[in-house]
Amino acid sequence: MNPVAFSRNAAVAVITLDSPPVNALGAAVRAGLVEAIGRANADEAVSAIVIAAAGKAFIAGADISEFGKPPVPPFLPDVLDTIERSPKPVVAAIQGVALGGGLEVALACHARVALPSAQLGLPEIKLGLIPGAGGTQRLPRLIGAAKAFPMMLSGDPIPAGRGLEWGLLDEVVSSDLLATAIRVAEGLAGEGRRPVTSAAVDKLTEADRAAFEVQAKDALRKAGEMPNVPALVEAVRNVFLLPFEEGLAAERKLFLALVDDPRSKALRHVFFAEREIAKVPGIGPEVKPRPIASAAVIGAGTMGGGIAMCFANAGIPVTLIETAQAPLDNGVNRIAAIYDISVQRGSLTPEARAARLALIKPVVGLAGAAGADIVVEAAFEEMGVKQQIFGELDKVTKPGAILASNTSYLDVPTIAAATKRPQDVLGMHFFSPANVMKLLEVVRPKGVADDAIATAVALGRKLGKVPVVVGNGFGFVGNRMLEQRTRAAERLLVAGALPYEVDQALVDFGFKMGPFAMADLAGNDIGWRSRKARGLKAPVADAICEAGWFGQKTGRGYYLYPQGARAGQRCPEVEALIQRISAEQGVTRRAFSQAEILARLLDPMVNEGARILEEGIAARPGDIDVVWINGYNWPAWRGGPMYWADGVGLDVIAKRLEAQAAESGDKALEPAPLLKRLAAEGKGFASFGAAAG
Ligand code: T1G
């Protein structure tokens, strides 16, 4: 069916896009637009044109799924050229979002009207790109470079009201959007002259250029690895240096180079992977989430307080429960202090701070959870404690209330067995700090009700999280793979590397920090306690903890933190300790290149990811990528561990793992069957599940 409908309203041609779900500018839409504009201009009874859209979005941009495939004409710049050069005025009627190429379509029109709820943005930067169809040339001319550049650099949309204020929109109307657009189009036609294009509007001034150059300098300083930031600076600077047509051509060249860049390809993989997680196997759209009007959180420690903040930030009343007044007061004070910092930074108004605190009701005793629709337990990470709490909750909470544990690795069915409602018990594993980190692992034990899982996923989105449904198993997905990296890092120290070398290798790869700096930040005693509970040994990590060097909180761990410094300094005592342990283990230390360190840290993680897929603990390789990007700061422009492994080649990884297994005698390093099979077939993880459809 033609996704572009053509109709007449008196002397105005109305072109309506209807290409679900978001009117992305795929080849059929582009061709339909060109055909409709031509038809309107050939029709003598038509004096003006409106472009409108059906559905929730005006236009969500170019069709990202087309990137990397052979380009199909008409190309978007040519479509926009047809609109802009139309002798009859073209007006955009915008509802929902006009993003990327969608806003570029509107910019090529001669006027733009929108509903107040419309959102206007150029998010290409988030895909490792820049606007590729005139956005960098038209938007600055229309609203000034100093407003346009930050919009394109952040990629965040602006509301219609601001669009009107800045001159991006001509009118904002609460109703009769189409009638308004038709009226504006007729008005332009009545002017009896060629319509003025946004490219011809020139709000550029020397002061604007100076302000832009300051922004550009700051952006380049923070750009890091990403090539699209310098490209955006160059494209916008051309607005001041080149005539419009030359600026368009330069933009297109910069854009096409970025489309082929591996970092953009990785970010486009992440875009789709983050949408795939909404498709939970066996739970279709017919499974409705239970309504969540109020919540309760058990435990007012760091995690419990952060989780309570998530609810308050989303406007959901939450009862924060502790066993006694003192820890409860501490928890509430910690939350208030965090909000105070946001107010000081200007990211939260005092009124919003007060409103959020008012939504948090501190109560001593589990009876406080009685009226909650969902309870999230964030108590001590010990099974007995959790079973006691869930047994109590089962008695005090209402039928149908969901009971979730924030456990980071304990067995959820064992927790559920403490209740008479296993169908309502699941895991909601938040990541610290819970009010900041996006990842939420929704643990789906056997026997839990589908609508309970659907509720946790919908709630996760409402809390602004990225909810990934995972199976029950030690460490679920993220921590289970993290443990492999931690063991590999310990092996590297004994074999010859030093903490700063291991950390630097991951930082240079794109992580915010390496394993040892992260351990010092979280507290080395946490891992120590877990290893002792499971009878595991890690000679270096155990020796560090036996010395009481727990990390930043004790002023020293793997590194030294003089006067509470945040950045650790190399510690000669630790390095001597490591060398002594190597000698005790009879290991002749040797140097390791960064490439070797990376392989030894990341290959075992990928291997564990393969086992996680084999066991069905994760539904798709992309889910694992989403976990690591949103929970552990894996650099999104590298696509995630499973995507990265496909880029390295599973045959290469399998060989390296075999060599490590032989060298260390650690069977866990043997390549997983799935990894071996895919390597032998010359395939990547991307093919996993595709056969299953
Ligand atoms: N291309 C292809 N598919 C898209 C798409 C797009 N641009 N946007 C969304 N989808 C699909 C998505 O995969 C999902 O599919 C469904 O639509 C609903 O999406 C030349 C080069 C529009 C705010 O970056 O921000 O234009 O899983 O779950 O939460 O300069 O989607 O149902 O099969 O996200 O309501 C620039 C990306 C492109 C906008 C809607 N545009 N999209 O959010 O639904 S590059 C973007 C979004 C470009 C030009 C450049 C959001 C949304 P499925 P959803 P939502």
The answer to whether the CB of 135 is under 6 A from ligand 1 is yes
The angle subtended at Cα 341 by Cα 457 and Cα 297, nearest 5°, is 35
Separation of 21 CA from ligand 1 center, angstroms? 9
User: Which of 22, 105, 137, 267 has the most ligand 1 atoms within 8 A of CB, as the residue to mutate?
Assistant: 22
Find out whether 131 and 255 touch, Cβ atoms under 8 Å: yes
pLDDT (average), residues 167-189: 96
Q: Which stretches of 490-615 are assigned E, i.e. beta strand?
A: 559-560, 569-570
pLDDT (average), residues 62-67: 93
Task: Tell me the C-alpha distance between 648 and 599, whole Å.
Answer: 10
pLDDT beyond 80 at 1: no
Place of tokens 């092996």: 491
| Mean pLDDT, all residues of the chain | 95
Ligand 1: residue whose CA is nearest its atom 42: 60
Atom of ligand 1 nearest to the CA of 102: 26
pLDDT (average), residues 619-630: 98
pLDDT for 81? 96
Domain boundaries of the chain, sorted by first residue = 4-260, 295-474, 513-584, 594-687
Ligand 1: residue whose CA is nearest its atom 24: 123
Separation of 649 CA from ligand 1 center, angstroms? 29
427 forms beta bridges with 405, 443
pLDDT beyond 90 at 499: yes
356 forms beta bridges with none
52 forms beta bridges with 16
Find out whether 422 and 447 touch, Cβ atoms under 8 Å: yes
pLDDT digits (tens, 9 = 90+) for 220-262: 999 988 899 999 999 999 999 999 999 999 999 999 999 999 9
pLDDT digits (tens, 9 = 90+) for 366-407: 999 999 999 999 999 899 999 999 999 999 999 999 999 999
Q: Which residues of 418-449 are buried (b: 16+ CB within 10 A; e: fewer)?
A: bbebbbbbbbbbbbeebbebbbbbbbbbeebb
- Band of residue 564 on the pLDDT scale cut at 50, 70, 90: confident
The answer to whether the CB of 279 is under 6 A from ligand 1 is no
CATH code of the region 594-687: 1.10.1040.10
Task: Tell me the C-alpha distance between 517 and 501, whole Å.
Answer: 11
Separation of 60 CA from ligand 1 center, angstroms? 6
* Share above pLDDT 90 across residues of the chain, in percent, rounded to a whole number: 92
Residues 6+ apart with CB under 8 A from 167: 142, 143, 201, 203
Which helix (H) or strand (E) element contains residue 376?
strand 374-377
The answer to whether the CB of 275 is under 6 A from ligand 1 is yes
The answer to whether the CB of 129 is under 6 A from ligand 1 is yes
The number of residues making up the chain comes to: 693
Find out whether 628 and 481 touch, Cβ atoms under 8 Å: yes
Q: Which stretches of 455-558 are assigned E, i.e. beta strand?
A: 466-471
513-584 matches 594-687 in fold: yes
Find out whether 671 and 679 touch, Cβ atoms under 8 Å: yes
Separation of 141 CA from ligand 1 center, angstroms? 26
pLDDT for 526? 86
Looking at the structure, give the CATH architecture of the domain made up of residues 513-584.
Answer: Orthogonal Bundle (1.10)
The answer to whether the CB of 669 is under 6 A from ligand 1 is no
pLDDT digits (tens, 9 = 90+) for 85-102: 999 999 999 999 999 999
Residues 6+ apart with CB under 8 A from 249: none
pLDDT (average), residues 39-49: 97
Looking at the structure, give the CATH architecture of the domain made up of residues 4-260.
Answer: Alpha-Beta Complex (3.90)
pLDDT for 679? 97
The answer to whether the CB of 123 is under 6 A from ligand 1 is yes
Place of tokens 């983050």: 274
76: helix, coil or strand? helix
Find out whether 294 and 316 touch, Cβ atoms under 8 Å: yes
φ, ψ of residue 173 in degrees (nearest 5): -125, 145
Task: Tell me the C-alpha distance between 239 and 216, whole Å.
Answer: 14
pLDDT for 690? 63
pLDDT (average), residues 344-365: 97
pLDDT for 693? 36
Class (C level, CATH) for 295-474: alpha beta
Atom of ligand 1 nearest to the CA of 123: 24
pLDDT for 196? 83
pLDDT (average), residues 431-449: 95
Separation of 658 CA from ligand 1 center, angstroms? 41
Q: Kindly tell me the burial class for residue 58, based on how many C-beta atoms sit within 10 Å of its own C-beta (0-12, 13-18, 19 or more).
A: buried
500: helix, coil or strand? helix
